[in-house]
């Protein structure tokens, strides 16, 4: 059972483009939605995160848009650069217990120069 569905599986854009990665969740108890960036041979690194009480959060060139009623959230990368080429994972976490996030399957992003 996949609780967090991520799309697309892969994405190719030109430098300066705005790739958008989408995630949908089912469990309305989720209260924390982080995005992780993973480079080959490395572990995921926290990029940006949002809570369901806000609809948008920006950190540098990265923006999360959150739609609570649709149970969807997305990552936008402004002015994308070749160095942004990586795999991106969305995740969702519910409160209580061990506070463990559930990850999406990932999106492989390639930004061409």
Residues found near another protein in the complex (CB under 8 A): 6, 32, 34, 36, 41-46, 49, 89, 91, 93, 97-106
**CB-wise, 42 or 58, nearer to another protein?**
42
E-strand stretches of 17-85: 20-25, 33-38, 45-50, 56-59, 62-67, 72-77
**CB-wise, 38 or 72, nearer to another protein?**
38
Query: What is the smallest separation between the CB atom of 37 and another protein, expressed in angstroms?
Result: 11
**CB-wise, 17 or 110, nearer to another protein?**
110
Query: What is the smallest separation between the CB atom of 56 and another protein, expressed in angstroms?
Result: 19
Query: What is the smallest separation between the CB atom of 79 and another protein, expressed in angstroms?
Result: 26
Phi and psi at 104, nearest 5°, equal: -75, 180
């Amino acid at each position: 059972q996949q609780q967090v569905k991520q799309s697309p599986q892969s994405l190719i854009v030109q430098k300066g483009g705005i790739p958008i990665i989408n995630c949908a969740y089912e469990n309305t108890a989720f209260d924390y939605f982080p995005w992780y960036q993973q480079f080959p041979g490395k572990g995921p690194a926290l990029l940006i995160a949002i809570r369901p009480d806000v609809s948008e959060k920006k950190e540098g060139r990265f923006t999360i848009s959150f739609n609570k009623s649709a149970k969807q959230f997305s990552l936008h990368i402004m002015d994308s650069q070749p160095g942004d080429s990586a795999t991106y994972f969305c995740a969702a976490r519910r409160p209580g217990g061990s506070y463990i996030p559930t990850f999406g399957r990932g999106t492989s992003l390639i930004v061409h120069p």
